[in-house]
Amino acid sequence: MNQEQNDIAIRVENLSKCYHIYDTPRDRLKQFIFPRIQRVIGRQPKQYFREFWALRDISFEIKKGETVGIIGRNGSGKSTLLQLICGTLSPTTGSITAHGRIAALLELGSGFNPEFTGRENVYMNASVLGLSKEEVEACFDDIVAFADIGDFIEQPVKTYSSGMMVRLAFAVIAHVDADILIIDEALAVGDTFFQQKCMRFLRAFQDKQGTVLFVSHDTGAVLSLCDKAVLLIPNTSAMHLGNVETICKLYLEHLYADPVRQGEFGALVATSSRTEVDASSKEATASVDVARYGHFFDGDMEIETIYVISAFRSEAESFGNGGAMIVNACFLDKDENVVTTIKSDQSACFSIQILAYKRIRWPAFGFMIKNNLGEYVYAEGTDMHFRRHEIELNKDDVATAFFTFTMPHLARGRYLVNVAFAEGLGDDHIQHCWMHDALQIDVISSRLVQGYSGMNDMTMSIRVNS
């Protein structure tokens, strides 16, 4: 085997999958009996089904360490392709060659026995993926911690919510030391904080040169995670493989070229462009919005960006040296009262409060805002701004950093905020406490379709209470 072949993780050659569609149960029975009799008596066997080709003549190669997105409209064969690669389906024609251990998160609950407890399903699922009982026992506590479903690990899976089920399934595949990960859209049912945890795992897996197949309708996620992409076209043998940006653009062209499909993915845009709303309806809607969130519209009916902010999550996942603990992070008004809603272009103050467990020299506070894909849209810290002050904290000091700025515009969606506290200058520092997803920010209206307008007039201060 030459070096080029050694670099291949998955090779798909002339792959096709045909399903038999029966109009009635009687036709299925006829197909089982009559063709055999017809062949015995020398007649041409009759076919009692219709053929449906989910995939036809698909060929591509994925190199080790690549992350490849599989995109396409509903019915294009994405899930079928993944099941064929995993071996849970057999191809009608063609072949698949995979090098390395495959771990897959396909349909919700696939691979789980609903009557078994979570613990029993972990052992069963991990053994199917190639782990011995001893190996499962060694990583069982890590799997349970990753899933974070508490005492439900001892309950039958049939009592789980969809979110709990996907947590446990992902936790298993994250700990089987796989070479190839296959992720279908099951992650969409998890909550935002778990999705972020999964994204961090996927990026770490990529850093270790693991191979990932990622299926999603979300072109933003595909653009963020993938090196290249495969576009499947339904009801044809067409397939496109190439640069992820080019393939995503091609996908959108195919998607919106079909007016029927535009309704499926662009209902809000299509409705607003077709519907006439009278003055009384617009007035009623505005009054409801104003009562709930404050002013939405100015005199020109231009939509402002409205932020709804969650409470600080003290239980958020964290790491660090432990020389200090972040005890709070929140947005404040001018009187230092906690606020849960803010508008764009308003003056805002974000504060981070820590408790020092030891003497600390050159304390540094920071925060990072990231989108639902885990991509940072903004990050700021005090390190550069307070070096000449040579601030020192003593044991049991409470210190608070205040970041004051004009609130920017963010595209509508959900954002999460990481907060951090370190000691030292520049890269030569000790990370005492880093908290993932300490706050959640929901943008419920925005004038931006995508992107970020930037923070203006940033000022910072640090207050120490001994």
What is the DSSP track for 132-150? Answer: -HHHHHHHHHHHHHHHT-G
Asked whether residue 250 falls in the same domain as residue 326, the answer is no
Residue 231 sits in the same domain as residue 375: no
- 456 with 357, same domain: the answer is yes
**Distance (Å, rounded) from C-alpha 226 to C-alpha 181?**
13
Which residues make beta-bridge pairs with 153? none
Residue 323: per-residue pLDDT: 94
Give whole-number Cα distances, 1 to 14, 62, 165, 426, in Å. 22, 17, 41, 48
Q: Are residues 243 and 320 in the same domain?
A: no
According to the model, what pLDDT value does residue 292 have?
25
Q: Can you state the angle between helices 118-128 and 133-147, rounded to 10 degrees?
A: 130
CATH value at residue 236: 3.40.50.300
- Domain C-terminal end among 230, 261, 292: 261
In order of 295, 341, 375, the CA distances from 409 in angstroms are 16, 14, 17
426 with 318, same domain? yes
Q: Are residues 338 and 448 in the same domain?
A: yes
pLDDT of residue 449: 45
Q: Is 115 helix (H, G, I), strand (E, B) or coil?
A: coil
Structure tokens given for 255: 């998607």
Same domain (yes/no): 240, 350: no
> Which of 442, 393, 441, 456 has its CA nearest to residue 421?
393
pLDDT at 258: 47
pLDDT value, residue 267: 28
The pTM for the full model equals 0.64
Is 372 found in the same domain as 249?
no
Q: Which amino acid is at 251?
A: Y
Residue 323 and residue 252 share a domain? no
DSSP β-bridge partners for residue 93 = 16
Q: Residue 457: inside a domain, yes or no?
A: yes
Which of 192, 226, 261 finishes a domain? 261
In a domain, 141, yes or no: no
Residue 425 domain flag: yes
Helices (H) and strands (E) in the chain, counts: 12, 22
The total of structural domains in the chain comes to: 2
Q: What is the pLDDT of residue 236?
A: 67
Beta strands in 285-384 (DSSP E): 306-309, 318-319, 324-332, 341-343, 347-356, 360-361, 363-370, 376-381
* 19 in any annotated domain: yes
- Asked if 315 and 236 sit in the same domain, the reply is no
Specify if 371 maps to a domain.
Answer: yes
The pLDDT of residue 447 is: 56
- pLDDT confidence of residue 335: 86
Q: Does some domain include residue 165? A: no
* pLDDT attached to residue 109: 58
Mean pLDDT of residues grouped by 10 in the chain (466 residues)? 71 91 90 87 87 89 91 85 88 92 74 88 87 90 90 91 86 88 72 80 88 82 84 78 83 57 31 26 25 29 70 90 95 90 86 95 92 81 86 93 86 88 86 92 66 66 82
Alpha helices in 129-243 (DSSP H): 133-147, 162-173, 192-207, 219-225
157 is a domain residue: no
Same domain, 230 and 354: no
Whichever domain contains 364, its CATH number is: 2.70.50.60
**Cα–chain-centroid distance for residue 24?**
40
Whether 344 and 446 map to the same domain: the answer is yes
**Residue 169 pLDDT:** 87
| Residue 446 included in any domain | yes
Q: Which of 240, 261, 282 is the last residue of a domain?
A: 261
Domain carrying residue 224: 3-100+179-261
